[in-house]
Amino acid sequence: MEKLPKIAFPFIVAIIVIIIIITKSAVTIGSGEAGVLYKTFGGGVVTDAPPLGEGFHIVAPWNSVYIYEVRQQEALEKMNVLSSNGLDIKLEASVWFQPKYEDLGKLHKEKSEMYKDRVLLPAIRSAARSVVGRYTPEQLYSTKRDAIQQEIYEETRKIVDDQYIQLNEVLVRDVTLPPTIKDAIERKLKQEQESLEYEFRLVTAQKEAERQIIEAQGKADANKILSASLTDKILQDKGIEATVKLSESSNSKVIVIGSGDSGMPIILGNQ
């Protein structure tokens, strides 16, 4: 009985060592993440094989695993840029990005986990300054927002595409101009809107006048044609037809034949 603890001690130590090794070797990678394997005695960062996927993994205890988020992420960047005429513009942009999955090992080896601060944000700042510098404050404020957004995206993508970063979208959230410039632009836009409204009213009134002239001319032409076609004979025949129809009605009346200059009958009613 006294020898039992001495015999069990090596087994207990062995079990503890095994537990420690398993603990150090077990790696769990969560949803939307991937792991980059670093081999201490095998050449360092593994770049010629896919990264470790989601789930449970066993690695050698002397190796390390660096976990990256590989789903889409967002970075919000606020910056000061200059317009084409040298005015200071405050720009706020939202960047959607994610690391390229198959190149995760290369990204870790060359850029590290700080790739967003070392590569992505400097690229978006450089692209924004380059693009905004082509436009005037008025264009930035009103008409060119979508074009500027697309151009910043294109220029940023060219920079980060070979840096193992996938750029999904760039959204310009806000453009802030100096207050005096903003007020001047708003006044100008208001005046332009009022001018367009006044021109619209003039065009509408002119078209209405033209319509009335055309309508009046049409009526005049119709009356002219009608007058030319109504001879005395036609008018007399029409009068006779009307007289016959009236004489056939049940109402009492007196018809005087041959009265007036035209010789047309005159019908006197019972009233």
pLDDT digits (tens, 9 = 90+) for 51-74: 999 999 988 888 899 999 999 999
Kindly tell me if the per-residue pLDDT of 171 is higher than 90. Answer: yes
Terminal CA-to-CA distance of the chain, rounded, Å?
A: 149
Q: Where are the domains of the chain?
A: 3-69, 73-177, 186-229, 236-269
Query: Which string of b and e fits 5-41 if b means at least 16 CB within 10 Å?
Result: eeeeeeeeeeeeeeeeeeeeeebebeeebbbbbbeee
pLDDT > 70? residue 79: yes
Q: Among 57, 5, 62, which residue's Cα sits nearest to residue 28?
A: 57
Answer with the residue of higher pLDDT: 267 or 136.
Answer: 136
Check pLDDT > 90 for residue 186: no
Q: Alpha-carbon distance 232 to 236, whole Å?
A: 6
pLDDT for residue 115: 95
pTM of the complete model beyond 0.85: no
Q: Contact at 8 Å (CB) between 135 and 183? A: no
Domain 73-177 has CATH 3.30.479.30: yes
Q: What number is the average pLDDT over the span 9-38? A: 79
Is the Cα dihedral 219, 221, 226, 232 positive or negative? positive
Give the DSSP H/E element, type plus range, for residue 179: helix 179-229
Token duo for residue 70: 């590989």
Q: What is the pLDDT of residue 212?
A: 84
Taking 60 as the threshold, does the pLDDT of residue 139 lie above it? yes
Residue 224 has pLDDT above 90, yes or no: no
Mean pLDDT of the chain: 80
State the Cα–Cα distance between residues 131 and 151, nearest whole angstrom: 7
- Reading phi first (left if > 0) and then psi (alpha if -120 to 50, else beta), residue 221 is in alpha
The percent of residues above 70 in pLDDT, for the chain, comes to 68
